[in-house]
């Protein structure tokens, strides 16, 4: 049983969303003692010059304005740090992730906070956590040459140290809705609680 789950949804659809439905089932299956909820349907701010300037200013030298600029990013990182398991729902839009999910990644991938550079290359700092990645698509097959979402998410999650990634895919729903749903349900049933 997971102690603390960070439940993230990124679908723009608040109702009728396959990825939202499946992430809720995964969270229930895991039986967490505590669930931190992060819904990305409300867009996050995009990185801008002020954010980048604040981020690259040493923490002990930041102005109050710079601290305020990084406050949301700090909260998002703290959610990741507090979680034992991350359940991340991502529909595939135009072969990749929704823009709101990309904005979340931009806000949590921070040098010296969630990863660091070493002589051997970058090293993720959010280690020892489990990720259940829930993917939904109409026509894109998860893991195929045209699936840029799964590849990108696995890379970015690994970059910040989240390398234990399990996939629940309800892909190609427009091709075989019944088969897609069964495959996703089988993957959820196979998850260790």
99-110 pLDDT, tens digit per residue, is 999 999 999 999
Question: What is the tally of structural domains in the chain?
Answer: 1
Whole-number Å distance between alpha carbons of 173 and 80: 30
Give residue 30's domain range. Answer: 4-190
C-beta atoms surrounding 178 within 10 Å: 8
pLDDT digits (tens, 9 = 90+) for 2-55: 799 999 999 999 999 999 999 999 999 999 999 999 999 998 999 999 999 999
Flag whether 137 is marked binding.
no
Distance between CA atoms of 76 and 74, rounded to whole angstroms? 6
pLDDT on residue 193: 78
Confirm whether residue 10 is marked as ligand binding: no
For 18, the token pair is: 């396959």
Is position 15 annotated in a ligand binding site?
no
| pLDDT tens per residue across span 71-95 | 999 999 999 999 999 999 999 999 9
- Residue 178: alpha-carbon gap to chain centroid: 26
Report the predicted TM-score, pTM, of the whole model to 2 decimal places. 0.95
On whether 144 is known to bind a ligand per the annotation, the reply is no
Name which of 90, 69, 108 is nearest 151 in CA terms. 90
pLDDT tens digits, one per residue of 120-173: 999 999 999 999 999 999 999 999 999 999 999 999 999 999 999 999 999 999
For the domain that residue 42 is a member of, what is the CATH number? Answer: 3.40.50.360
Cβ pair 114, 124 in contact under 8 A: yes
């Amino acid at each position: 049983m997971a102690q603390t789950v960070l439940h993230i949804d990124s679908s723009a659809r608040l109702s009728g969303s396959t990825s939202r439905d499946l992430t809720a089932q995964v969270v229930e299956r895991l039986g967490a003692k505590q669930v931190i909820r992060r819904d990305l349907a409300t867009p996050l701010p995009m990185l801008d010059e002020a954010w980048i300037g604040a981020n690259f200013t040493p923490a002990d030298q930041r102005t109050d304005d710079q601290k305020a600029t990084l406050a949301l990013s700090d909260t998002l990182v703290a959610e990741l740090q507090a979680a034992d398991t991350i359940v991340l729902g991502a529909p595939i839009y135009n072969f990749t992730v929704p823009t709101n999910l990309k904005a979340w990644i931009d806000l949590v991938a921070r040098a010296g906070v969630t990863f660091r550079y070493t002589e051997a290359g970058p090293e993720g700092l959010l280690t020892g956590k489990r990720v259940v990645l829930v993917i939904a698509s109409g026509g894109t097959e998860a893991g195929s040459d045209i699936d840029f979402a799964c590849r990108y998410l696995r890379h970015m999650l690994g970059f910040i140290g989240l390398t234990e990634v399990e996939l629940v895919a309800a892909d190609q729903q427009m091709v075989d809705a019944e088969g897609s749903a069964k495959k996703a349900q089988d993957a959820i049933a196979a998850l260790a609680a």
